[in-house]
Amino acid sequence: MASVTPPGLAYEVEHDPVLHRFQARVQGHLALLDYQIKRKRMVITHTEVPEAIGGRGIAGELTKVALRYARDNKLKVVPACAYAESFFDRHAEYQDLLAT
């Protein structure tokens, strides 16, 4: 697993390419974003942040890290979970990554 933590973040974000997951452990709780790669597309299938650490922007940070990975690897993105869909609705700066 490789750390892909953005500067200034209070917790570490890791990428596990074998499990197709970005994750962060915060106060003993695991937050995650699962994805699949299909035909040069990153399909974000699941985002989960335990209630105990919710409301801190953790899902947003995991999504930003995943989208940076997609951009760096020239992948288009399919938001296949509700959180990823709403993230794209709120962040116009990532619209270029959306698969058409």
Residue 88 belongs to domain spanning: 2-97
Q: What is the pTM of this model?
A: 0.91
User: Based on the structure, what is the number of domains in the chain?
Assistant: 1
Provide the token pair at 1. Answer: 């697993």
Full pLDDT tens readout for the chain, 100 residues: 766 766 667 788 999 999 999 999 999 999 999 999 999 999 999 999 999 999 999 999 999 999 999 999 999 999 999 999 999 999 999 999 999 8
Q: Is the dihedral of CA 78, 81, 87, 90 positive or negative?
A: positive
CATH number at residue 88: 3.40.630.30
Query: Is 27 in a helix, a strand, or coil?
Result: coil
